[in-house]
Structure 1
Amino acid sequence: MSWHRKHLLDIESLSAEEITTVLDTAREFKAVGERDIKKVPALQGKTIVNFFVEPSTRTRVSFELSAKRLSADIINFAADASSFKKGESLKDTARTLEALNADIIVIRHKAAGAPHFLARFLNAHVVNAGDGAHEHPTQALLDIFTIREKKGAIEGLNVTILGDILYSRVARSNIWALRKLGANVTLCGPSTLVPRVFEQMGCRVTYDLDEALASADIINLLRIQHERQRKTMFP
């Protein structure tokens, strides 16, 4: 199938077919990075703004590198050195960027739902690069792409995610993607960081590490999200 969405805001709203379309397209573009000349004109003439309100290394650099390899013009927006720091609203800042003819706005923000908020009134395409503890769809797509490259298929795999699930946007996006593609997902960590409410997403929750690892085909280990915890969450 073809991709018909204007924005990439989350994994939850995507179908398995849409996720697979992205993965298949990514496989074709992976070859570009392995050539001597790592550039194609797919986004020539387009302007992409990396609107990162939270710190980032891997995600921001990955978007910048990808944009350049697709021949887009890329602008890295530094929130701390802008009017945003002086109190300008998220909406007004985004509209200013769009008024400068930005075609795609890649946003990372500490508030869950910030990309969805921008998508309501911007004509530019919005890509979610992480919003609070909600979702990180592009990271999940990369994780699923890597698993598929190594294992050949996602359906039927037993995937264990360990660590801070409660505050991890990556965990949520990975859970949605893995479940939609037919994987069995087990979550494990301290009970304060892996509440049983995640069972409503179709996951198995256990607090026994040996049990969680026993039948795992893939292990996804997450760091503790200190920046989003307001108190210690270790029992």
Structure 2
Amino acid sequence: MGRPKYFTPNEVSIHNTIDDIWVSFLGKVFNLTPLCEKYKGDVLLKPILLSAGKDISNWFNPKNKDIRTHVDPLTGCIIPYCPNGRFIHIPPPYPSSDWANDFGRPWWKDDSYVVGILSKKTRFIKIINTLTSQDQVIEVCSEENMSEILERYLKYNLHAGSYTWKYDGRNLDMNKSLEENNIPDEDEDFYKLSMNDDTFLQAIHLYFNDDLTEQ
């Protein structure tokens, strides 16, 4: 098994249409586009569509990772708690002859929809290309190693793999995270001191080696 793919909340949020819908909950990121295609036109899709691109962890019990429940005040029975309305794979609150329960695993327990892990903490870093004197601020996941951060940076520089990545004059270990490379996350310190963290972002410098990416 390879490393999981990490996503920022901002990356999840752009997938917010019926043709491209992601949600996150309990630390995982789900691509529910196939589910929406399968149940297109079903009124039970509405709560999911309204939550497109958002975190819906409040729908779930973090202990058993299942839908939260509550006691129905009319029947005294324990039923799923759906504050935004009943949704796909949730049974009706009362016996119903038209309820089809032959769908297999409910979507929130189906790992085939999982595309990655939601970052517990994101960071902004500044990357400076010493060859061109251009700099770029990007948001990364704190769990990512430098090689994965390099992948994020490729859209700004397709030849980023042809550079040596350094911080404070030190070569970075591309298999380690920012923290493991002794690049601390100072967001909390900036907040306590009421400092503009954008002005004091840690800068990673790229030094050109040889354009090995040239085809």
Normalising by the residue count of structure 1, what TM-score does the alignment of the two structures yield? 0.26
More helix by percentage: 1
More strand by percentage: 2
Specify the structure having the higher radius of gyration (Cα). 2
Normalising by the residue count of structure 2, what TM-score does the alignment of the two structures yield? 0.28
